[in-house]
Amino acid sequence: MIEKQSDKFENVEEDVSEEVNINEDSSVTDDLTNEQKELSEKDNVKINEEDLKNTITNNDARLEQLEKEHETLKSQYVRIAADFDNFRKRQSRDQDDLKIQLVSKALTAILPIVDNFERARQQLKPESEEAKTLHRSYQGLYKQLVEVLKQQGVAPMRVVGQQFDPNLHEAVLREPSEEFNEDIITEELQRGYNLEGKILRHALVKVSMGPGQQNSQEPEEKDKVEEDIDSESTISENN
């Protein structure tokens, strides 16, 4: 009996020892598993951090590229807008110039008629009542013509006593003068006109050579020019 009980105790001790060993082994396994989990989590965190860094880097590079593209497109837009604005202004100037050219051509053709009106006014000396009535009718037509020219922007030049300017005047005669200094216009032979600040027709003028100088033009040539151009033809600004 005693031996049997002793065997039982030994068996019990062996079982307990085995359980302890199993528990110890299980504890070691759990520790290893936990360590592996921690290592795995750390690795995952590192991987996630690297991925995040790569993502941020890629986004920064993409953002920089988009900013460059934006600046390029903005520069192109500004350049195109400036080119279009210049084109619009150039077209507007060209249209204005073409309009002035067309108007100038038509008005230039009318100016000789105005000159003839001026000559007729200087030559007509109405005496009878019928002649005076005709003269008043003529004056009415003349004033109407002058008003139309003014409405179109035509302005007569006033040149006597002014410094000779080849851009505005055409010198037909040069003669000595005790009254005017050299290169001063002494007489208007044909009225010049401006159209909105531009020359419509140059004025034909006599220019002073100053006192005591000889006339460079032959008398017969001078007489011929004076016959061709009526020195008294003017348009009054008050008409």
- Residue 234 amino acid letter: T
Residue 16 and residue 79 in one domain:
yes
> How far is Cα 215 from Cα 237, in angstroms, rounded to an integer?
32
List pLDDT tens digits, range 195-213: 888 888 999 999 998 886 5
The percent helix, strand, coil of the chain (3-state, each to 5) is 65, 15, 20
List pLDDT tens digits, range 67-102: 888 889 989 999 999 999 999 999 888 888 888 788
Average the pLDDT over each of 2-6, 90-94, 129-133 and give the range with the smallest value: 2-6
- pTM beyond 0.85, yes or no: no
127, part of any domain: no
115, part of any domain: no
22, part of any domain: yes
Evaluate if residue 232 carries a pLDDT over 60: no
- Position 223 scores a pLDDT of 47
175, part of any domain: yes
- Position 107 scores a pLDDT of 87
Q: Which domain holds residue 212?
A: 153-233
DSSP bridge pairs for 184? 163
Once rounded to an integer, what is the mean pLDDT over residues 33-44? 63
133, part of any domain: no
What confidence category does residue 56 fall into, taking pLDDT thresholds of 50, 70 and 90?
confident
> How far is Cα 212 from Cα 182, in angstroms, rounded to an integer?
11
Residue 4 and residue 58 in one domain:
yes
Residue 102 and residue 37 in one domain:
yes
Residue 104 and residue 157 in one domain:
no
Domain boundary among 81, 108, 135: 108
Number of domains in the chain: 2
CATH number at residue 210: 2.30.22.10
Check if the beta carbon of residue 118 is closer than 8 Å to that of residue 235: yes
Residue 93 and residue 9 in one domain:
yes
- Position 98 scores a pLDDT of 84
Residue 24 and residue 83 in one domain:
yes
32, part of any domain: yes
62, part of any domain: yes
113, part of any domain: no
Once rounded to an integer, what is the mean pLDDT over residues 115-130? 78
Residue 10 and residue 81 in one domain:
yes
DSSP state of 1: -
Residue 21 and residue 88 in one domain:
yes
Domain boundary among 52, 80, 108: 108
Evaluate if residue 153 carries a pLDDT over 80: yes
Residue 94 and residue 168 in one domain:
no
Residue 89 and residue 158 in one domain:
no
Residue 15 and residue 104 in one domain:
yes
- Position 164 scores a pLDDT of 92
Average the pLDDT over each of 52-61, 74-83, 146-155 and give the range with the smallest value: 52-61
Percent of the chain with pLDDT over 70: 69
Residue 165 and residue 96 in one domain:
no
Nearest to 154 by CA among 120, 193, 186, 127: 193
Domain boundary among 76, 108, 140: 108
